[in-house]
Copies of this chain bind each other. A is one copy, B any other.
Amino acid sequence: MEKLTLVQAINLALSEEMERDPGVVVMGEDVGKDGGVFRATLGLLDRFGGERVIDTPLSETGIIGAAIGMAAYGLTPVAEIQFLGFIYSAMEQIISHAARLRTRTKGRYHCPLVIRTPYGGGIHAPEHHSESSEAYFYHTPGIKVVVPSTPSDARGLLKSAIRDPDPVLFLEPARIYRSIKEEMKGDDPIPLGEARIARSGKDITLIAWGAMVHTALKSAEAVKKEGIEAEVIDLRTLYPMDTGKILSSIEKTGRGIVVHEAPLKGGLGGEIAAIIQEKALLYLEAPVLRVAGFNTPIPLPKMEQVYLPSPEKITAAIYQTLRY
């Protein structure tokens, strides 16, 4: 099979799911004629028509709010938010409604809604286009959070997200939308909640997701020259989190580093470190470190590389951990 980029894999998953289930509806700003500003929905309008591929007004609250109503009515909306940085006006709809509909109604209604949105830095984009605010959603009860890091995973995880009967935030690392090409590994959905060992190693565990998986892998390659074998875990699903894989890796390596683009403070690095120390304290040879964005907004392109985790920053943290 032809090799696909991550964004092409998403496009493929969308069309496959729309083919499979006539209830799947794609909606958002510019998803129709334009095929999405990143072309993730390219060709869907021609193939599935304007009732199922809907260009909406500029209206994030309206998009998510209407998608909730559609979902409760029996459709499976896949709503695109053009960039994660524009999702915030829909927070009330997500937190207070999408994520709670099943709980609030004791299961009478549920909300099979997928929110797709590009996220993360490194794409030289204007302000508000490089956000990594996954922690807000991880903290929100009732919604799953998924982040692929490879084209195959993007396809398989998106399929699962669409088939999931509950709301899923599907974060697409824009930085690697086109930088990796890969042959699709089968066309099965990939279950949510299962991390992937992106690289095996025995000396230290690097935990990452999205574009940072590749940054961590680069650092792992770099320290390999010094004889250090880093294991890299790609979480794939942030919630529910595959703590089993994290803990068994840590039990093997005794050392861990969490890497994320979001600001350090209150980011998921804290959560993961807390889980590790709670469940595996006696295995720890050193503190779990966090390599993350600064406690500042992500700067504009001129400075974003200073802000973002880099292989070098991770490598420095690896040495710090090993020397502890």
A residues bordering B, Cβ < 8 Å? 61, 85-86, 88-89, 91-92, 95-96, 99-100, 103-104, 127-128, 133, 135-136, 138-142, 239, 262-263, 265-275, 277-279, 281, 284, 286-290, 294-297
CA distance A269 to B271 in the complex (A): 8
Closest to A128 in B: B96
In the complex, the answer to whether A296 meets B136 with C-beta atoms within 8 Å is: no
Measured in the bound complex, the distance between the Cα atoms of B267 and A278 in whole Å is 15
Given contacts A91-B88, A139-B266, A273-B270, contact A288 B296 (CB under 8 A): no
A104 to B61, CA, bound (A): 25
Residue of B nearest to A258 (CB): B274
Q: How far is the CB of A200 from chain B (nearest CB, A)?
A: 25
Task: List the number of copies, as a whole number.
Answer: 2
- Are A141 and B271 in contact, with the CB atoms below 8 A? no
A284 and B272 CA atoms in complex are apart in Å by 18
Sample 30 A-B pairs with CB under 8 A, ordered by A number.
A61-B89, A88-B92, A89-B89, A91-B92, A99-B297, A100-B297, A103-B296, A135-B139, A136-B139, A138-B266, A141-B297, A142-B296, A239-B265, A265-B271, A266-B268, A269-B274, A270-B272, A270-B273, A270-B275, A271-B274, A273-B274, A273-B277, A274-B274, A274-B277, A274-B288, A277-B277, A277-B281, A278-B290, A281-B284, A281-B286
Residues of B with C-beta under 8 A to A286? 281
**A290→B277 CA distance, assembly (Å):** 11
User: How far apart are the CA atoms of A273 and B274 in the complex, in Å?
Assistant: 5
- Chain B residues closer than 8 Å to A289, beta-carbon distance: 278
Q: How far is the CB of A90 from chain B (nearest CB, A)?
A: 9
B297 & A103 in contact (Cβ 8 Å cutoff): yes
Shortest distance from the beta carbon of A185 to any chain B beta carbon, whole Å: 30
Cβ–Cβ contact A138 & B265, under 8 A: yes
Query: A99 to chain B: which residues have CB within 8 Å?
Result: 297
CA distance A295 to B127 in the complex (A): 33
Check B270–A274 contact: CB distance below 8 A: yes
Given A142-B296, A277-B281, A278-B290, list of 8 further CB < 8 A pairs?
A: A104-B127, A138-B265, A141-B265, A142-B297, A273-B274, A274-B274, A278-B289, A281-B287
